[in-house]
Structure 1
């Protein structure tokens, strides 16, 4: 009888997890906000009604945008990229809790060194979080969508709100198969584990605080300032970085089942 090791078990569990996502992703993406379904595993809600946490993320992502790109007066795509990443970190922290360090909201002159977390019981072990957004996967080319539908940016936001959350099941399955992440060489070399997150919510300009340079609520069509703050994300899996190739596409099928990460982390303590 062939030997079954821990990697084969986690890969088999990941196959079942992907089947679960294919079956449920349409339900997850039907509405924005909290998802509270029986049997849903590894689904984390971030900033649920926590305006202070939202403000902290916005401040940090604005400062990074200003630092690396200066003041922008068009749609701040860089801000959104930073925020998607920070929501992913918040999701992982919520899941692993006291096993890992707190989220770092400090601004460093030369960056954070490519490390997101470390194990509290072994600070030499670092973890990297890579987050992708369902919305970004669905609409990879912003400009092509605008051209195809003849929309301006404001109309595009409204169109996405009404359309992408009601995908047919076969379309959802296609998107699931397209979800991917990448890790660069520095991130691989400086971390022992990488955790992969899928953000379900849109992160568009309605999440940006009112005084972000050049963006106003009248421009966006949102007359109210108070917005229900919540993001939902799925922890899709993990992988030891020595098993990852830098700068190559990493898909759901390539990951280990996230439910095994606590047991794997015990290896380092």
Structure 2
């Protein structure tokens, strides 16, 4: 079983459990959780920040529209910040306008690896996330967050689901923007490991070493994995003279594009 098949299988199981409400909920920072709940002082701080941004850009758009846009974006970013913790660094919001900028986070140890967060509210069967060709070019992954409640000034608590992620190298654009549903995403539990492996491959490449990887199922697990390493045991590098990691993802993207899965 290859790693994409594994994460797709886990995603199918996650979607079933999302419908029934049986989800993994961990409040420990840096550990994986399918559900994140934001309320109280934490939500108050987000609201205050978003009102400041709304006031700052009130000449560009109506204040309430800017507030809602920023709050949606910040709620999604809070999920990713809590799950990846010190592994990532936030891009300064005040240096750009809008809740969905081109890059939301970078890896702390490698700022060249960008992460885009997309937050949406809607029914699980109909909600869609979209990404532009520019965002694909500037980011290594897009992380999708599903907000259960309608975003407003009065909402006192938000239930946020890490709906999944996609490596941008798997996304092929026919036009300037595409959209995708939750069933087309990879299971969020593989995000940390994917970024680690991507970082490792880029580091090896920068040292002009033969950074060639192919992910295959590991035959045995030598030690019990932590939550962050839940899927890491399934990813094992194998030397191959013909294709590096980037070529592999481009190839995979072509295959899924031909199947009509990312159009």
How would you bin the TM-score normalised by the shorter chain? 0.5 to 0.7
Which of these residues, 154, 163, 184, is aligned with residue 132 of structure 2?
184
Greater fraction helix: 1
Q: State which of 65, 84, 106 in structure 1 corresponds to 2:94.
A: 106
Aligned residue in 2 for 1:118: 106
What's the C-alpha RMSD, in Å, of the aligned pairs?
2.9
Question: Which ranges in structure 1 are unaligned for 5 or more consecutive residues?
Answer: 28-33, 138-174, 208-227
Aligned partner of 1:144 in structure 2 is: none
> Which residue does 1:240 correspond to in 2?
167
Match of 1:266 among 189, 193, 196: 196
Q: Is residue 48–residue 231 contact of structure 1 (8 Å, CA) maintained in 2?
A: no
The residue that corresponds to 2:148 in the other structure is: 200
Q: Closer, same or farther in 2 for the Cα pair 1:95/1:111, shift >3 Å?
A: closer
User: What secondary structure does 2:73 align onto?
Assistant: helix
Secondary structure of the structure 2 residue equivalent to 1:183: strand
Q: Which runs of 5+ in 2 are unaligned?
A: 201-263
TM-score (normalised: structure 2): 0.64
Say whether 1:128 aligns with 2:116: yes
The separation in 2 between residues aligned to 1:198 and 1:239, in whole angstroms, is 15
| Aligned residues between the structures | 190
> How far apart are residue 41 of structure 1 and its match?
4.0
Q: CA deviation at 1:237?
A: 0.3
Aligned partners of 1:178 and 1:81: how far apart in 2? 20
CA offsets, 1:127-146, max 9 Å, x none? 0001101xxx3xxxxxxxxx
Deviations 1:211-251 (A, max 9, x none): xxxxxxxxxxxxxxxxx4x3221001001012124522211
Higher relative contact order (CA 8 A, sep 6+): 1
1:88-132 CA-to-partner distances (Å, cap 9, x unmatched) read: 111111111111003533234899961100001111100000110
Is 1:57 paired with 2:50?
yes
